[in-house]
Every structure is written in C-alpha cells, then in structure tokens.
Amino acid sequence: MRKKLRDLGLDLPLLPTTTVGSFPKPAYLQEARRLHAAGKIDVRRLRELEEKATREWISAQLELGLDVLVDGEMYRGDMATYFAEHLDGFGISGLVRSYGNRYYRKPVIKGEVRWRGPITVEWWRFAQGLTEKPVKGMITGPYTMMDWSFNEFYPSRRDACLALARALHEEVKALAKAGARIIQIDEPAISARPKELPEFAVEAMRTVTEGVNAYFITHICYGAFEFIYPQMLELPVDNFDLETSNSNLDLVDLFRKYPFTKDISFGLVDVHSHVVEDRRTIEARIRRALEVVRPDQLWVDPDCGLKTRTAEESIGKLRAMVEAVKSVRESI
C-alpha cells in the first residue's frame, strides 16, 4: 500500500508511528465539561478550552516525533454517543454499563438514521491547520454504532448497520473533500458476532469507503480475532489497526498460519496498564511482528486510545515507542 500512500502525496518513513485516537483530557477541560453539563459555562467557552487542549496534544505529538497525528478527541465523550448526537434518527438513553467499567449514555435508534452535516470535519481541519504532518480523519464505524445502540426502528441489525453506513459515508466524503488523506474507521465491536462479518459488516464498510480517495485504516479492539481471521481481510480497507500487545502478540501465530495481506498497525503499547514499557520491550515486540509481516506493511502504535492513562504515562509510553521504532529502522 506504499504506492497508494505515495499517490496521495504521503511520503511516510518505514514503520510509520501513530496513535489510535484519544488522549487524556487535561484537568481544566474535565472541569469545563462538568460545568458545561451543569449549565454554568456556555458552549463557546467550552470550545475554547477544547481547542487549547487540542493544540497542546498536537504539540506533544510533534515533539515526540510521531509520523501520523490525531486530534486527540478533546471534544468527545463516548465514541458511539458522540456520533449518535450528531446524526438524525437517534435519541440517547441514561447511563448504561458495558465492558467492565465503561459507562456511557447508550444511543437509541428511533427513526431513519441520516447525516445532517459534517460531524468531525471542523475538528479535523483545526488540528490539520496546526501541523504539516498528516492528521487522521476519525469516525466510529457503522457496525460498532449499531452494536452499541438500542434499535427501536429498523427490522434487523443488518438494516440498522447499513443505514448507518450510508450516513457515515457522507461524513467520510466530507473529510476527504476537506483534505483528509488518511481516514480511520473505528470498529472495536466488529468481532461481537463473527457470523455478521460476512453477512453484512463487510458490505457496510464498503458502503462507507466506496469511491472515496483516501488511505483507510480500521481500528479493532476487544478482539476475538481467532473467530474473524482471515475472513476479516475482506473488509475493504488498506490498514488494520489491531490491539495486539495486550494479548501477548498471539496474533503472530495466527499470521504465521494465514499470512496478513494488507498493511497493519500493530498495537505494541498496552493502554490498560500504568506501567510505561521500556524501549527494549517494545523493540522486541516490533521484531516479533516483523517475523510475520514485511517492514513496508508495518505501522506501529498503542493498542487503543490513551484517554484512560495520565498525560505523563501516555507521553512516556509514546516516547519509548518512538525510540524503539528508530532503533529498528536503523537495523533494517
């Protein structure tokens, strides 16, 4: 896929480094979000602080020397609820618990899902305006939006998912039109029901991406990869961003059996642990990954978003990751 990147005008080094999307929100922003929810500050003031935090995270990423940047999602609460709030057809429930300690206000599909205008484009443009390095466009995918919502309108999960795909296709088109050349579709839930992958999840991803000239990444975590691999390679994207360090790189054995045919972003930093990995640990993980994929297929990033870590832990982990990559690059 190096050719596709070059055709898009992206000249990335070998083993490009990036992050999955979210960074921790600084204390002043958490406080501002609380005050805004309580009606004590207006949306304009909140926005100013979200922009300040975004600027800080862009600077931090530049200083770390990451190759592909993210906006850090300072403006988002939950990744599914955020998009539901900006699409027609959704209501929002009270707090629901899922995946251990994740609480979120679960979206409810109450009518026909429709895109009513750009959701993330302004934020992408703001972040990209702060740097010459590419910033990823970033949306939550149709399968995960469907799986994490109550459906009171569509007759089936398939119908709900494909309707979401049509709406999100508009967002992807708008991102590409604004200039985003790398677009990530987050699908953490895609292995929730493996039989739905061939039944409609692949079709939904095709609906989202079709006809859009961008390099597409899909991020998958909570993965029961053994149930969806190698079938998941049929998802029409260029790069799979997978949570792998958390599972002790079990995927390496799977890829030995069925070779990986696309680009892959290997999650090589554990986002669930406070422990900051040292450079050598990450370097060893990169070398293990290189036993099963070529250097020109491999990107390096953390397992998942870093929003549950502190700023200090996030930066420590990323610094070790960037140093590990440098050292491996020199030896290739």
Quote the least distance from Cβ 267 to Zn ion, whole Å: 8
Closer by beta carbon to Zn ion, 50 or else 73 = 73
- Which of these ranges, 61-69, 74-82, 174-182, 219-227, lies near Zn ion under the rule CB under 5 A? 219-227
Q: Starting at the earlier edge strand, list the strands of the sheet with 150-151.
A: 87-98, 102-115, 150-151
Question: Among residues 80, 163, 192, 221, which is the contact residue for Zn ion, using CB under 5 A?
Answer: 221
Where does this chain touch Zn ion (CB under 5 A) — which range of 9-17, 99-107, 256-264, 299-307?
A: 299-307
Distance CA 54, CA 62 (A): 12
The correct pick among 172, 249, 304, 325 for binding Zn ion (CB under 5 A) is 304
Alpha-carbon separation of residue 56 from 85, 127, 141, 256 (angstroms): 26, 11, 27, 41
CB of 304 to Zn ion, least distance (A): 3
Looking at residues 168 to 197 of the shown chain, list those that interact with Zn ion (rule: CB under 5 A).
188
DSSP 247-288: GTTTHHHHHHHS---SEEEEE-S-SS-SSPPPHHHHHHHHHH
Evaluate whether 46 touches 36 at the Cβ level (below 8 Å): yes
Write down the least CB distance from residue 23 to Zn ion, Å.
13
The type of residue at 318 is L
Q: Is 242 in the site for Zn ion (CB under 5 A)?
A: no
Q: Does 220 bind Zn ion (CB under 5 A)?
A: no
Cis peptide bond prior to 194, omega within 30° of 0: no
Stretches 74-82, 153-161, 230-238, 298-306: which one binds Zn ion (CB under 5 A)? 298-306
Binding site for Zn ion (CB under 5 A): 188, 221, 304
